[in-house]
Amino acid sequence: MHEEGYAAVSSRKIASKAGLKSQLVHYYFRSMDDLFLALFQRVEEQQFQRLTQAIAAKTPLHTLWKISIDAQGPWLNKEFIALATHREHLRKEIARAAERTRRIYAAVLSRVLEERGLERGAWPPIVLSILLDGASRLINSEAALGTSEGHAETIAFIEHYLDQIEGPGPAEGIMPYPLKPE
């Protein structure tokens, strides 16, 4: 998927890369849609583990931001989104995962705001979670296209406001993405 896009994925290519016969791929996955769904669920579960790790960090907002802005995560996500435009069951699974992630961000933001005695009305957690997620997606998408105008300023702006909410501090170590492009 990373090298040629989802349209180039076939059971024969998968089997070849894995050193298997293509019939074995079909034994475990009745269709390519089933395989794509299983792959998405695996990647999403790994992302959930990273988010769970971030929740326990000393600076959870900075750590969540670091996960969001990490350019190594979205490379596969873009392919899944493109694939989902043609496959309803995958679109629903991606939407479910996005909502779960947003709830995690909003819960962490609510907790940090409460701990810091900041008024939620001035810092609405759901709005902040959408802004953080949206900014990171746009920055990563544009960076993949080769443009970076305004990215450094936007990242600095967001990190300044995270400092205002959470206090200064670098994001703590996070699990690396296990599925990296080669």
The pLDDT value recorded for residue 176 is 57
Q: For residue 79, what pLDDT is reported?
A: 85
pLDDT 10s digits, 47-85? 889 888 888 898 999 999 988 888 666 667 788 888 899
Is residue 175 predicted with pLDDT exceeding 70? Answer: no
Which pLDDT belongs to residue 168?
83
**Residues 17-43: tens digit of each pLDDT:** 889 888 898 899 999 999 999 999 998
Gap between the Cα atoms of 153 and 12, Å rounded? 45
Lowest mean pLDDT among 20-29, 30-39, 111-120, 170-179: 170-179
Give the integer Cα–Cα distance in Å for 79 and 65: 22
Q: How many CA atoms lie within 13 A of 12 on its CB side?
A: 1
Q: Is pLDDT above 90 for 95?
A: yes
